[in-house]
Amino acid sequence: MARECRKPRTAKVVNQTGGAGTEGRSPDRSKPSIGAVHTKGSDHKAATECIKLHMDISNGRELALLVDTGADISLIKPDNLDKTKKFDPDGRVRVKSVDGTVIETFGTVQTVVNVDSLQIPFVFQLVNKQIDILCDGILGRDFLEHAGAQICFGTGTLTLDMGSCRISKRLSPIRTESEPKGIRRLVLPGRTELVVRLPVKEGTTISEGITEKREIREGIYLAGAMTKVQRGYVVTSIINTTSGEVEIDEPVLEIVEIEPGTGEPSQEETVRDKPPLRTQEVLQRLRLEHLNKEEREQVVRTCADYQDIFHLPGEPLTSTTAVKHEIRMEAGVEPVNVKP
């Protein structure tokens, strides 16, 4: 109770690839968001056109935003935003993409959208840069309705009508999966597993398959995972087992099609079904005396499924760059370290 009543501290949210996001109160991920799951993305032409404009928080940079009438809400990435701009984590929502993936936003950020002489105050949902958006963000139905927007695909224009002012902007096509992909650099923090979106080999025709499990370089491993191909990319994970930060070229993956099973478990599957020693050690450390039979079975099953996330004595602790905490002190005050 005392923790919930404290004044919220300030923190810098850092995206999964290590880059800094906008500054604000650190969102409490243990508190689930409330409300409906909003949709992101659509299958029609609006999802392949973008508009270029400026915002008061974009540091003078021009942002490219998808015009997507299939999206309930408008989203913005933190990449090119003012790092000192605060956001409200209490306004975060869950967003569902067309492939069924559900993510949670960081919260809301207040902006002023500048379109030539027109200034439009609006609230965007702040999302991580790993989210599958090809531009800096999305203009969803909430913004389009707020700005009185009209889309004409014949002329390729978006008209914003705020009553006293009416402005038309030309839509620009964005890169699709048929166009060449640029090679990115990935930054992998030490002793971490990073979920990444990687391109597949040109000419891949299958929509679902398995990525090859292999060692990219010494201490860097690509996970073998069953995944879906979306617009020439798949989502998988890369593990850096070394103690230092490593920067690598984005690997291009080859997807192996899933072969129909025979229905008979293989020897490998039979061995894998047996509880490994690590799982047994994790389960032995659980305190279950106060639970009834049904509760004990549920806890044991959950812990066995996710045994790899528990820390056991003697194992090195992992780290993350997802969130960074900053303690601001008054001038002349020395820091004090006191054991709880």
Confidence of residue 20 (pLDDT cuts 50, 70, 90): very low
Mean pLDDT over each residue of the chain, to the nearest integer: 77
Burial class of residue 179, CB neighbours in 10 A (0-12, 13-18, 19+): exposed
DSSP state of 176: -
Checking if the pLDDT of 124 tops 90, the result is yes
Question: CA-CA distance, 311 to 308, in Å (whole number)?
Answer: 8
Q: Which pair of structure tokens corresponds to residue 5?
A: 């009543």
- pLDDT, tens digit (0-9, with 9 covering 90-100), for 196-205: 888 898 888 8
pLDDT digits (tens, 9 = 90+) for 252-303: 999 988 776 555 554 444 434 445 688 888 898 999 999 999 999 999 999 9
Q: For the segment 163-181, what is each residue's pLDDT rounded down to a tens digit? A: 778 888 888 876 544 444 5
- In this predicted model, what pLDDT tens digit does every residue of 190-233 receive, in sequence order? 888 888 888 898 888 888 889 888 999 999 999 888 888 887 88
Count other Cβ atoms within 10 Å, centred on residue 70: 16
Q: Is 118 exposed, middle or buried (0-12, 13-18, 19+ CB in 10 A)?
A: middle
Distance CA 49, CA 33 (A): 31
Q: How confident is the model at residue 250 (pLDDT cuts 50, 70, 90)?
A: confident
Q: How many CB atoms lie within 10 A of CB 101?
A: 15
Q: Which of the residue ranges 4-8, 11-15, 114-118, 319-323 has the most confident prediction, judged by mean pLDDT?
A: 114-118
CB burial of residue 158 (10 Å; 0-12, 13-18, 19+)? buried
- Is the Cβ–Cβ distance between 91 and 107 less than 8 Å? yes
For residue 29, the model assigns a pLDDT of 45
**Contact by Cβ (8 Å): 287, 303:** no
* Total Cβ atoms within 10 A of residue 156: 13
Residue 86 has a pLDDT of: 87
Residue 253: is it exposed, middle or buried by C-beta count within 10 angstroms (0-12/13-18/19+)? buried
Q: Is the pTM of this model over 0.75?
A: no
* 3 state DSSP class of 299: helix
User: What are 329's two structure tokens?
Assistant: 């002190």
* Residue that wins the pLDDT comparison between 63 and 334: 63
Tokens standing for 221? 């491993």
Give the pLDDT of residue 292: 92
**CA angle at 77 for the pair 250 and 197, rounded to the nearest 5°:** 25
Cα(322)–Cα(340) distance, integer angstroms: 25
In this prediction, residue 40 carries a pLDDT of 59
Query: Which of 202, 207, 236 lies closest to 222 in space, CA to CA?
Result: 236
Nearest to residue 68, comparing CAs of 225, 189, 223, 174?
174
Per-residue confidence (pLDDT) for residue 95, from 0 to 100: 84
Between these two residues, 63 and 258, which has the higher pLDDT value? 63
Model confidence at 188: pLDDT above 90: no
Tokens of 231: 């617009």
